[in-house]
Amino acid sequence: MPTVSDVARAAGVSRQTVSNVLNSPEIVREETRTRVAAAIAELGYRPHASARRLRTRRASTIAVRLDPFAGGISGAVLDRFLHALTERAEARGLSVMLYTAKDAADEIRQFQRLVDGAAVDAFVLASTYDGDPRTEWLIEHGQPFVTFGRPWGIADLDDPLHFWVDVDGRAGVAEAVRRLRGSGARTIGFLGWPAGSGTGDERRAGWAAGVAEGDREGGVVTEGPRAEPARLSAESEESVAAARAATRRLLAQASDLDALVAVSDTLALGALIETGGSLPVVGFDNTPVAEAIGFSSIDQRVDEVAAAALELLELVGRSEAGDPRSHRLITPEVIMRPPGPALGLVG
Amino acid sequence: MPTVSDVARAAGVSRQTVSNVLNSPEIVREETRTRVAAAIAELGYRPHASARRLRTRRASTIAVRLDPFAGGISGAVLDRFLHALTERAEARGLSVMLYTAKDAADEIRQFQRLVDGAAVDAFVLASTYDGDPRTEWLIEHGQPFVTFGRPWGIADLDDPLHFWVDVDGRAGVAEAVRRLRGSGARTIGFLGWPAGSGTGDERRAGWAAGVAEGDREGGVVTEGPRAEPARLSAESEESVAAARAATRRLLAQASDLDALVAVSDTLALGALIETGGSLPVVGFDNTPVAEAIGFSSIDQRVDEVAAAALELLELVGRSEAGDPRSHRLITPEVIMRPPGPALGLVG
DNA sequence: CTGTTAGCGCCTTCAG
DNA sequence: CTGAAGGCGCTAACAG
């Protein structure tokens, strides 16, 4: 492989000029630049990434953790995010490197390894939780990072050192309720996870807000039964079987249900199976199953998330306290699919 | 960060000795080794990956293409493979780097980029096809690679330069037929892709073999109707809707069907929906959907595939013509799940 | 704008 | 077994 020296010799300039043409072309005279470019093309020169890394002390690589495949229908969201991230990163001249970890402590050891070896110069984390030691470590060690998922500690939400992107589940679910009402549904239930998961609580709040909004519009008093959503909501673990049971409970306590919003496609599927498709159900994540079976779902728009994450990475370190640019909330998209016939569970 | 020189000074040895302790500890005297190790631990020294790469001209990194998310239920298999690969690679001191490509030509450009930049020193390709230009390029340029998927050109199957791992779909489907028969089914149909896809044809062949085997055991003459499988087989595109239509056709021409094997979980799902769960159906890929809904499926054992792929990578270049070690066929696992009630489509 | 000088941290000679 | 040089390919500083 030719090196900068070869190119320099061929173009009749110094090595440094070649380097300039590649890294700061604007400071090189037009004529010289084209001559060098010609030599580069002719020799088929390609910069040697390792050498550049050693010199610049930057890897132009971001690390992403790949969990040991949790399974479940919704596990695929992170994979989709990864696809999107890889594509966007490439466009910015960044590479994506993967690592795995058993737990947070193990992951921190991986941080050490990757940082010390200068293999990587930024991290993208998913699935953050309250008091996450990983973000603490990264902040403490001055490592640039972005999380997909907001920090769930209240005080951290505006931490200018914590750059995050998240999907506004609350807005998404509220919009789904609106859409269901638009197509005639009046009593809309919710199938959620047990309280305590930040994500799930947000989505439930979105449903409650959507229902309250409908009640106001419909002239229902705030104390009325439809404005008290507890009766219309049930909790379930993330499994189809549990979702079926929860749906049964829900129908028992609210036989007037017109439609359901579920916190995940897994739960939505359970509800669909249990009801035989007689009720419109909206899931969350717009997984391949939703598409295959043909039920409505809320898409996280991982593509936007990936783009935002990379934008934020560029700001890391340059942000002031309270800078709103240190985080980004993406509004998901409600994908409505015609109910009933497409499902084929009833007929 | 401390460097080898710092460690050497602290331990009172030369830089080279430190390097030896790290790379070929057996040639260093025990006592020196422990002294150096102590210095390493005390200073918190970590080798600098970029510097090492520059010197050794090896990246210890393998590249994997991440497709722009094809969607579909079965797309997840590659993701699962990626998870497994990352884990296994890490254990061997290798990193996994991702790239994307629009088409084969684009992918070859990526090869160029990654190879010339010395960012990567081996490739793992998935979804190979007959006359794949990618493998040709890699062989021509002496780049180590393994494919997940056998080369579908007949002449290439034993090419000692083409290292591949694949899942034995034929054996898997034959075993599924056997298992269905074991639980009482006598007339077992097949729902496949249109002929021409290597993978699909193999799976169909496995079904035909399994049926013929059952006929022999049952004392049926080879010319009998059950030994002529055409009637029991239908073709469908990879979509739930198409699978439902194909299932209808199949039932029309073979109303005596006891069970079905499908070439994919998508088609299996279509068959299940169409039959309302009244027939046992075995899918392929053991996707989360199969697990969630509870139907049987054939698992590709991506973990074994990943392990085999990495083993093969170590052999690349050292293999002689006809060396059977240049490829590996993994037998998939048939996961039987109790039918009917778990599905909940009927009751 | 261009050229010169000096390493980045490591490992592979080659002598001791 | 250990130590002394040299250089992988690149770019940050400076001097012209």
Contact A126, A81 (CB under 8 A): yes
Decide: helix, strand or coil at residue B146.
strand
**Closest chain B residue to A116, measured at CA:** B46
Contact A311, A92 (CB under 8 A): no
Instruction: Flag whether residue B72 sits within 8 Å of chain A, measured between CB atoms.
Output: yes
Average pLDDT on B317-334 reads: 83
* Same-domain check for residues B40 and B100: no
Give A103's Cβ-side CA count (13 Å radius): 1
CA angle A155–A159–A161, rounded 5-degree value: 145
Average pLDDT on B28-40 reads: 88
Q: What is the 3-state secondary structure (H, E, C) of chain A?
A: CCCHHHHHHHHCCCHHHHHHHHHCHHHCCHHHHHHHHHHHHHHCCCCCHHHHHHHHCCCCEEEEECCCCCCCHHHHHHHHHHHHHHHHHHHCCCEEEEECCCCHHHHHHHHHHHHHCCCCCEEEEECCCCCCHHHHHHHHCCCCEEEECCCCCHHHHHCCCCEEEEECHHHHHHHHHHHHHHCCCCCEEEEECCCCCHHHHHHHHHHHHHHHHHHHHCCCCCCCHHHCHHHHEEECCCCHHHHHHHHHHHHHHCCCCCEEEECCHHHHHHHHHHHCCCCCEEEECCCHHHHHHCCEEEECCHHHHHHHHHHHHHHCCCCCCCCHHHEEEECCEEECCCCHHHCCCCC
What are A312's two structure tokens? 């934020």
Q: What is the pLDDT along chain A (347 residues), one digit of tens a residue?
A: 888 988 888 888 888 888 988 888 888 888 888 888 998 999 888 888 889 888 888 889 999 998 766 656 666 788 889 989 999 999 888 999 999 988 899 999 999 889 888 889 899 998 888 888 999 999 999 899 999 999 887 667 778 888 999 999 999 999 999 999 999 999 999 999 999 988 999 999 999 999 998 888 776 655 555 556 789 999 999 988 999 999 999 999 999 999 999 999 999 999 998 998 899 999 999 988 898 888 999 999 999 999 999 999 988 877 766 677 889 999 999 999 986 544 454 33
What are B190's two structure tokens? 């097949």
* Same-domain check for residues A278 and A131: no
- Measured CA to CA, the distance from residue B285 to residue B129 in angstroms comes to 19
Please report, as a single letter, which amino acid is at residue A257. Answer: L
Contact A118 B49 (CB under 8 A): yes
How far is it between the farthest Cα atoms of chain A?
A: 85
- Measured CA to CA, the distance from residue B305 to residue B310 in angstroms comes to 9
- Measured CA to CA, the distance from residue A261 to residue A280 in angstroms comes to 9
- Measured CA to CA, the distance from residue A209 to residue B27 in angstroms comes to 71
Over the stretch B245-259, which tens digit does the pLDDT of each residue have? 999 999 999 999 999
* Same-domain check for residues B31 and B180: no
The single-letter DSSP state of residue B82 is H
**Exposed, middle or buried, B219 (CB in 10 Å: 0-12/13-18/19+)?**
exposed
Strands B259-262 and B188-192: parallel
* Confidence label for B69 from pLDDT (cuts 50, 70 and 90): low
Decide: helix, strand or coil at residue B78.
helix
**Closest chain B residue to A99, measured at CA:** B86
- Measured CA to CA, the distance from residue B227 to residue B232 in angstroms comes to 10
* Same-domain check for residues A149 and A259: no
Q: What is the pLDDT, as a whole number, of residue B74? A: 62
- Measured CA to CA, the distance from residue A339 to residue B157 in angstroms comes to 47
Q: What is the pLDDT, as a whole number, of residue A316? A: 86
Which of B48, B59, B292 minimises the CB distance to A240? B292
Question: Domain of A207?
Answer: 170-300+334-346
* Same-domain check for residues A178 and A293: yes
Contact A162, A123 (CB under 8 A): no
Give residues 240 to 259 of B whose Cβ lies within 8 Å of A.
Answer: 240, 244
**Closest chain B residue to A63, measured at CA:** B97
* Same-domain check for residues A112 and A84: yes
Which of B50, B73, B95 minimises the CB distance to A118? B50
What are B165's two structure tokens? 């791992």
Contact A82 B98 (CB under 8 A): yes
Contact B90, A99 (CB under 8 A): yes
Residue among B281, B275, B315 nearest B298 (CA): B281
* Same-domain check for residues A207 and A221: yes
Answer whether residue B223 shows pLDDT above 70.
Answer: no
- Measured CA to CA, the distance from residue B38 to residue B235 in angstroms comes to 66
- Name the minimum distance, in Å, from the CA of A179 to any CA of chain B: 25
Over the stretch B249-297, which tens digit does the pLDDT of each residue have? 999 999 999 999 999 999 999 999 899 889 999 999 998 889 888 899 9
CATH code of the domain in which B38 resides: 1.10.260.40
* Same-domain check for residues A16 and A97: no
Please report, as a single letter, which amino acid is at residue B2. Answer: P
CATH code of the domain in which A178 resides: 3.40.50.2300
* Same-domain check for residues B175 and B269: yes
* Same-domain check for residues A278 and A142: no
Q: Give me chain B's average pLDDT, please.
A: 88
Which nucleotide in the DNA or RNA is closest to residue A36, CA to C1'?
C2
Which of A46, A118, A244 minimises the CB distance to B344? A244
Tell me how crowded residue A72 is: count the other CB atoms within 10 A of its CB. 17
* Same-domain check for residues B291 and B200: yes
* Same-domain check for residues A209 and A268: yes
Could you tell me the pTM of the whole model?
0.88
Average pLDDT on B128-155 reads: 87
Instruction: Flag whether residue A51 sits within 8 Å of chain B, measured between CB atoms.
Output: yes
Residues of B in contact with A273 (CB under 8 A): 293, 343-345
> CA distances (Å), B244 to each of A272, B185, B252, B264, in order?
18, 21, 12, 13
Number of domains in chain A: 3
